[in-house]
Amino acid sequence: MKIKPPTYFLILLFLSILFHFVFPIKKIIPSPYNHLGWVFIIIGITLNIWADNLFKKHKTTVEPGKKSQKLVLEGPFKISRNPMYLGMVLILIGTSVILRSLITFLFPIVFIIIIETIFIPIEEKDMEKVFRKEYQNYKNKIRRWI
C-alpha cells in the first residue's frame, strides 16, 4: 500500500472540482440548497479530526499497514468502524452537493470502491490478527460505514 487513502481522497477531490469545470454536466441541485453541502463537509472534517485525535490519545497508528497498538472503541468508533473514511466520503459528497454537477457525484463512489477493495480488507485482517476476539466482537456490533 504505497499510496495512502488521504492521497486517493485528495486526488479525487481535485478531479471532482476539475471535472465540474471541464465537463459541466447537468446541475442537479438547485441553489440555495447546494449550500447544504457545507454541512457534509463540516461533519466529514470533524469526524477526521476527532478520530485522528483519538488515535493520538491512545498512542496508536492511523496509518494503514502499520500495526495498531490499541483498539479504539470510543467517540465516532461507536457508530462506524471507519469514521475517517466516512469523513472523507462526506467531504467528497459535500463538495459534489456544493458544485451541483452530476459528474462530481462519481468521485465519492470511486473513493468508496477504492477503500472497500484495497484498504479495508487488509486493515480488517490486520486488526483480527492483533485484537482477535475483541475485534470480532466489535465487528459484530458496529457497521463498517454507518
- Greater confidence (24 vs 90) lies with 90
146 part of a folded domain:
no
Q: Could you give the angle at the alpha carbon of 95 between the alpha carbons of 91 and 99, nearest 5°? A: 175
Q: State what percent of residues in the chain have pLDDT above 90.
A: 91
42 part of a folded domain:
yes
Cis-peptide into 32, omega within 30 deg: yes
Q: How many CA atoms lie within 13 A of 88 on its CB side?
A: 24
Q: In the prediction, which pLDDT does 1 show?
A: 52
43 part of a folded domain:
yes
Region 30-55: mean pLDDT is 97
- Is 65 a residue whose pLDDT tops 90? no
Range of the domain at 29: 5-141
Question: Cα–Cα distance between 9 and 111 in angstroms, integer?
Answer: 7
Q: Is the pTM of this model over 0.85?
A: yes
Structural domains of the chain, count: 1
64 part of a folded domain:
yes
29 part of a folded domain:
yes
- Is 30 a residue whose pLDDT tops 70? yes
